[in-house]
């Protein structure tokens, strides 16, 4: 995994601790939480994928094993301003393949 991915994941977990529902549920879209003491809505999401491929149709004479893993974390912020809605999205992805 790359260092920026880990840093963003740690920051996301820190913000998840700050997220508290101090405003009515209607203030934020579904899946979002209001940050404590503000009208900013936040959603932290992500995914992890791991796969293993054993054998290959190209190399019938030999056994091969390949593994891989990937992950993504996304931080989505929304806030209503006097100029209209403001949205910021930060996404970090990382991938590792072993031949």
This prediction's pTM = 0.57
**DSSP-H helix ranges across the chain:** 3-18
For 28-68, the pLDDT digits (tens) are: 889 999 888 888 999 999 999 998 888 766 656 666 778 88
What is the number of other CB atoms lying within 10 angstroms of the CB of residue 70? Answer: 15
- Token couple for 36: 């404590």
């Amino acid at each position: 995994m790359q260092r920026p991915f880990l840093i963003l994941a740690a920051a996301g977990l820190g913000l998840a601790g700050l997220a508290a529902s101090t405003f009515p549920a209607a203030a934020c879209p579904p899946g979002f939480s209001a940050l404590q003491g503000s009208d900013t809505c936040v959603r932290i999401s992500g995914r992890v994928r791991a796969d293993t491929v054993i054998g290959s149709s190209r190399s019938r004479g030999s056994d091969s094993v390949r593994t891989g893993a990937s992950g993504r974390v996304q931080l989505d912020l929304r806030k209503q301003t006097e100029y209209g809605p403001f949205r910021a999205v930060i996404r970090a992805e990382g991938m590792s393949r072993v031949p």
